[in-house]
Amino acid sequence: MNGDMYLAWASNEENRNKADCGGAVTALLKFALESGLVDAVLAIKARDGDRYDGIPVLITDPEEIKDTAGVLHSSSINIPRYLKEYMAGVYNRKLAVVCKPCDARAIIELTKRDVMHLENLLLIGLNCTGTFSPVTAKEMFKEKFGVNPSDVIKEEIEDGKLKIRLKDETEVERDLKVLEEEGYGRRENCRRCEIKIPTMTDIACGRWGNTDEKMTFIEVCSDKGSNLIESAIEAGSIKVEKPNSEAIETRRKQDALAIKLAQEWQEKDFAPFKAMSADERFNYWFSQFSQCIKCFGCRDACPICFCEHCMLEADRGYVSGGEIPPNPLWPMVRVVHVMDSCINCGQCQDACPMELPLAKLIFMLNKEVAPRFDYEPGINVESRAPSATVTDTELTIEDVALFLKKSV
Ligand code: SF4
Ligand code: SF4
Ligand code: SF4
């Protein structure tokens, strides 16, 4: 039932030995398809075996599930955007979606706006300590680990270390904090991310707390998740045992350590802005946004940008059409529009060709707004975002300028 915890692994010995953490997630996905619990599975796989090139795949053949086994740390695929943008036609079918905490949070936000419907989705959450940009990862493995990036077959972040395994089964590890201070390591938003165990999904799966490398620690987070696990046990697809209190405590401690590291990064990233006067902050962001080339990349990448008729389109009459570069407040309109619901996925910043620190700004603003409205985005499907109570017409470009000066 909801709240239950398991140590689980694939019943098939061969699969258990081959897959990460005993192959429980792969076995559950296969079972969900075979048993008709879902019609398809949306997951990520390495294109042509290249772990730096993850692509989303929609699978209906249970035999293809094995292609998605293993975690790709160097692929921060925008699963909720993909789901929203390209899969509207299959919403009347049941989908299992493999998601990181930020993916699941975006799906929750979109559900509240009636863009998605959770009753058709089975969310298989994976714990996440962070993802890497593929370019940074390759350079880091070469420069800091002294290995050929194509020899890496696995990455793991644990105990403040980045550990990698190579084709010849040797392992190399480096201190994550040191790597990140040198400009390597995780994507910037991931460093600040405090939600590592996706308890807003149907089941949250990961290695923290497992007592054997060939086991997955699973927390059941909904009745749907409970039904999946219990049916898979009954059908003989997975085997389970109950974690003891020591395993549960180990998981809690690993999570606490990752959250502490995220909070340290937040302090570090925000400190320069806290030290600025209001005018200095305004000038800083104004100079950043003066570089915007109005490519719409940030808007198009953002999984929670939900308006069907975006305020930034010229025909809305809110900004002048054809103006390039746009008014520096142009990107700020989007910032203000999403800051109460931003789930810190970093996709906007990744997409920006001018490398503007968009996710940093929006996350900072969200940290200001969230406690004032007692609203944490993407956690609870019942609570409403503060902006859901505000109409378009209440916000003017002067309001945005004033807000920027006061708050950032
Ligand atoms: S933002 Fe958080 S959940 Fe998303 S990829 Fe980064 S660490 Fe993982
Ligand atoms: S504003 Fe940026 S960081 Fe926030 S949800 Fe959108 S894309 Fe992700
Ligand atoms: S992605 Fe960057 S350059 Fe493009 S519209 Fe957004 S802020 Fe401007």
pLDDT of residue 406: 57
Q: What is the pLDDT of residues 239-250, one digit of tens each?
A: 999 999 999 999
Q: Name the residue of 291, 319, 356, 362 to mutate for ligand 3: max ligand atoms within 8 A of Cβ.
A: 356
DSSP bridge pairs for 10: 238
Residues with CB under 6 Å of ligand 2 are 301-304, 338, 342-348, 358-359, 362
Q: At residue 393, does pLDDT exceed 60?
A: no
The stretch 94-100 carries a mean pLDDT of 95
Contact partners, residue 4, CB within 8 Å, separation at least 6: 219, 220, 226, 229
Helices (H) then strands (E): counts for the chain? 15, 11
297 CA distance to ligand 2 middle (Å): 11
> What is the spatial distance between Cα 31 and Cα 25, in angstroms, rounded to a whole number?
10
Q: Does the C-beta of 128 come closer than 6 Å to ligand 1? A: yes
189 CA closest ligand 2 atom index: 3
Determine the 3-state secondary structure of 342 from DSSP.
coil
Q: Which ligand is nearest to the CA of 305?
A: 2
Phi-psi group of 346: left, alpha or beta (phi > 0 → left; psi -120 to 50 → alpha; rest → beta): left
Q: At residue 145, does pLDDT exceed 90?
A: yes
24-28, 51-55, 330-334, 386-390, range with the lowest pLDDT? 386-390
Q: What is the pLDDT of residues 324-351, one digit of tens each?
A: 788 887 888 889 889 999 999 999 999 9
pLDDT of residue 319: 73
Residue 381 pLDDT level (bands cut at 50, 70, 90): confident
- Tell me the torsion sign for CA atoms 41, 240, 125, 262: negative
pLDDT of residue 305: 86
Q: Name the residue of 294, 323, 335, 338 to mutate for ligand 3: max ligand atoms within 8 A of Cβ.
A: 294
pLDDT of residue 1: 79
DSSP bridge pairs for 165: 154, 171
Contact partners, residue 292, CB within 8 Å, separation at least 6: 325, 326, 328, 330, 331, 354, 356
Q: What is the pLDDT of residues 166-178, one digit of tens each?
A: 999 999 999 999 9
Q: At residue 131, does pLDDT exceed 60?
A: yes
pLDDT of residue 37: 96
Residue 371 pLDDT level (bands cut at 50, 70, 90): confident
Q: At residue 26, does pLDDT exceed 70?
A: yes
pLDDT of residue 385: 77
Residue 408 pLDDT level (bands cut at 50, 70, 90): low
Angle ∠(376,307,338) on CA atoms, nearest 5: 35
Q: Say if CB 4 and CB 202 are below 8 A apart.
A: no
129 CA distance to ligand 1 middle (Å): 7
Q: Which structure tokens are listed for 121?
A: 């989705």
Q: Name the residue of 286, 288, 296, 333 to mutate for ligand 3: max ligand atoms within 8 A of Cβ.
A: 296
Q: Say if CB 90 and CB 360 are below 8 A apart.
A: no
| Among protein residues, the one whose CA lies closest to atom 8 of ligand 3 | 292
Listed residue (150, 151, 137, 149) closest to 179, CA to CA: 137
Contact partners, residue 218, CB within 8 Å, separation at least 6: 5, 6, 7, 8, 24, 203, 204, 205, 229, 240
pLDDT of residue 159: 83
A 10 A CB-CB count for 115 gives: 18
pLDDT of residue 116: 85
pLDDT of residue 102: 97
Q: At residue 76, does pLDDT exceed 90?
A: no
> What is the spatial distance between Cα 131 and Cα 77, in angstroms, rounded to a whole number?
10
pLDDT of residue 396: 61
Q: For the CA atoms of 240, 242, 246, 247, what is the dihedral angle to 10 degrees?
A: 30
344 CA distance to ligand 2 middle (Å): 5
Q: What is the pLDDT of residues 106-118, one digit of tens each?
A: 999 999 888 888 9
Q: Does the C-beta of 130 come closer than 6 Å to ligand 1? A: yes
Listed residue (2, 5, 73, 1) closest to 252, CA to CA: 5
The stretch 387-393 carries a mean pLDDT of 60
Q: At residue 87, does pLDDT exceed 60?
A: yes
Q: Which ligand is nearest to the CA of 71?
A: 1
pLDDT of residue 403: 57
122-131, 144-153, 192-201, 209-218, range with the lowest pLDDT? 209-218
393 CA distance to ligand 1 middle (Å): 34
23-32, 74-83, 135-144, 350-359, range with the lowest pLDDT? 74-83
> Cα-atom radius of gyration of the chain, to the nearest Å?
22
Interhelix angle 397-407/278-289, nearest 10 degrees: 130
Average pLDDT in the chain: 90
Q: Say if CB 99 and CB 42 are below 8 A apart.
A: no
> What is the spatial distance between Cα 164 and Cα 172, in angstroms, rounded to a whole number?
5
82 CA distance to ligand 2 middle (Å): 14
Contact partners, residue 121, CB within 8 Å, separation at least 6: 94, 95, 96, 97, 107
281 CA distance to ligand 3 middle (Å): 20
Q: For the CA atoms of 47, 50, 56, 57, what is the dihedral angle to 10 degrees?
A: 50
Distance of CA 298 to the CA centre of its chain: 16
Q: What is the pLDDT of residues 265-323, one digit of tens each?
A: 999 999 999 999 999 999 999 999 999 999 999 999 999 987 878 888 888 877 777 77
Q: Which structure tokens are listed for 389?
A: 């109570």
> What is the spatial distance between Cα 235 and Cα 129, in angstroms, rounded to a whole number?
32
